Amino acid sequence: MGIPYGYRDPFVDYDPLPSWRSTPLDAVVEGWGYPLRTFRIGQKFVRDAVVLPVGVVVEGSWLSDCVQYLPPHWHEAPWMQHIAGHRLVNDAAGLRLEPETPSPPLVLEGSWCVLNDFVGNRNIAHFFHDELPQLVAIRELREADPSLKVLARPSCYRNITRLRELLLPEGLMDARPSGQMAAAAPLQLQSLLLQPLPYNGGVGSYPGFDGHAFWLALNEVREGLGLLRQGLEEHGRGNGGIEGAWICFSRDLNQVTEAPQGRQFTNYSEMLEILSNYGVIVLDPGHFSIPDLYGLISHARGFVGIHGAGLANALLASEGSRVVEIRTYCGVNASLELMGRAARLDWCCVDTPQAEDGSERGVIPIDTVMELISACP
């Protein structure tokens, strides 16, 4: 018998946390131009949930990782067709998992949460909108129940690991199914506090996708950023940056990435040279530890960079700092802009036209970038 794809509405299908009584819902993101629904991250107690490499099976339904992270066409991806002894089927009867050769689940005793870290474990931008708000809610749950454990994928990036530890010291366990997607053994949790995904970046939910359906757990985002800044400030006392400097988060455009998204430009090197001559500090954030990087970020006047994970480091900047996001000619998801505005940053977007030679490259309007930098109060 198959396991049908399920749905849990983040706005109505979860129980409130105690803090909701004393903290009103924050619903305003200044300057955001699309419809936005804000909500608080609740929890729902369930028994005998089964955690897979992608998603969790709860009360007879499969919730994708762990609730509703199923962008358009992901269910067609080759790597999702076989999950822990199950085959993914999509036909007239709907999307579901059909057992093939499932392994007996490994039973984990006690009470658990499952971190929505499917992409956030390897991408700092996704960490900020997928993991950060949920970790804030988990902190409150652990205050009520210190024995509550968290199931998470380990990150291969030390900076993401460090940010997790600032929010939840000694609270993450590397027990999530890993290795081969098809052969991984499922985990059976005796007790699970199910939580919704903190963010939906304008894709809606399977199967009713909507290109403007943005959701965000805004209270938890702002609280989480405040906690990270506080923790990094305490960690890096005396590690001062250059007061009032501009920083360009550079990136190697020739490096292979999971989602290139048109990030090739005819004049990127020229822009870096002009920025450097203007006094902008050009650096690759991946070469710094997060405490050292924060020492620079916290004193900076503003930031510029290409849309991507590197620019997401600017979310740790002080409120009011200007950020100039350079977008690709083929368009990008507005997730960074939403998070930046939610962080109360002065977020500016620069679009790039396609190169006249018809290649898959954009042309950065360097004059526009320089005007946004020089006009910053």
**Predicted confidence (pLDDT) per residue in 140-185, tens digit:** 999 999 999 999 989 989 999 999 999 998 777 777 766 678 888 8
Element (H, E) at 110: strand 106-114
Same domain, 31 and 92: yes
Residue 224 lies in a domain: yes
* pLDDT, average across residues 300-310: 94
pLDDT the model gives residue 66: 65
Residue 145 lies in a domain: yes
Question: First CA to last CA across the chain, in angstroms?
Answer: 63
**Strands, DSSP E only, in 276-367?**
281-283, 302-306, 322-326, 346-350
CA distances (Å), origin 253, targets 190, 284, 348, 361:
46, 12, 22, 11
CA–CA separation, 321 vs 266, rounded Å?
28
**Strands, DSSP E only, in 170-237?**
172-173, 187-194, 199-201, 214-216
- DSSP class of residue 163? H
pLDDT the model gives residue 333: 85
Same domain, 221 and 251: no
Quote the radius of gyration of the chain (alpha carbons, Å).
Answer: 21
Do 340 and 329 contact (CB within 8 A), yes or no? no
Stated pTM of the model:
0.93
**Predicted confidence (pLDDT) per residue in 268-303, tens digit:** 999 999 999 999 999 999 899 999 999 999 989 999
Same domain, 224 and 337: no
**Predicted confidence (pLDDT) per residue in 219-267, tens digit:** 999 999 999 999 999 876 656 667 789 999 997 766 656 555 667 889 9
Residue 237 lies in a domain: no
CA–CA separation, 328 vs 58, rounded Å?
39
Same domain, 78 and 219: yes
CA–CA separation, 326 vs 350, rounded Å?
5
Residue 264 lies in a domain: yes
CA–CA separation, 355 vs 348, rounded Å?
22
- Is 90 exceeded by the pLDDT of residue 43? yes
Domain boundary among 232, 254, 289: 232
Element (H, E) at 221: helix 218-235
pLDDT the model gives residue 62: 93
- Look up tokens 């059976």; give the residue: 188
Domain boundary among 232, 259, 276: 232
pLDDT the model gives residue 258: 58
Same domain, 267 and 209: no
Same domain, 161 and 271: no
Residue 111 backbone phi and psi in degrees, to 5: -105, 140
CA–CA separation, 15 vs 41, rounded Å?
9
Domain boundary among 199, 232, 265: 232
Same domain, 191 and 42: yes
Same domain, 184 and 62: yes
DSSP string, 53-64: SS-EEETTEEES
- Is 80 exceeded by the pLDDT of residue 332? yes
Same domain, 342 and 273: yes
Range of the domain at 95: 3-232
Q: Buried b / exposed e across 300-329, counting CB within 10 Å, b at 16+?
A: bbbbbbbbbbbbbbbbbbeeebbbbbbbbb
Same domain, 74 and 138: yes
**Predicted confidence (pLDDT) per residue in 311-321, tens digit:** 999 999 999 99
- DSSP class of residue 265? B
Average pLDDT, the chain: 90
CATH number of 318's domain: 3.40.50.360
pLDDT the model gives residue 377: 73
Residue 267 lies in a domain: yes
CA–CA separation, 243 vs 124, rounded Å?
25
- Is 80 exceeded by the pLDDT of residue 69? no
Same domain, 158 and 227: yes
Residue 12 lies in a domain: yes
CA–CA separation, 279 vs 302, rounded Å?
12
CA 11 to chain centre: 20
Same domain, 36 and 126: yes
Residue 296 lies in a domain: yes
Domain count, the chain: 2
Nearest in space to 236 (alpha carbons), one of 298, 284, 308, 194: 298
- Is 80 exceeded by the pLDDT of residue 211? no
Residue 289 lies in a domain: yes
SS3 call for 81 = coil
SS3 call for 228 = helix
Q: Give 3-state DSSP helix, strand, coil % of the chain, rounded to 5.
A: 30, 25, 50
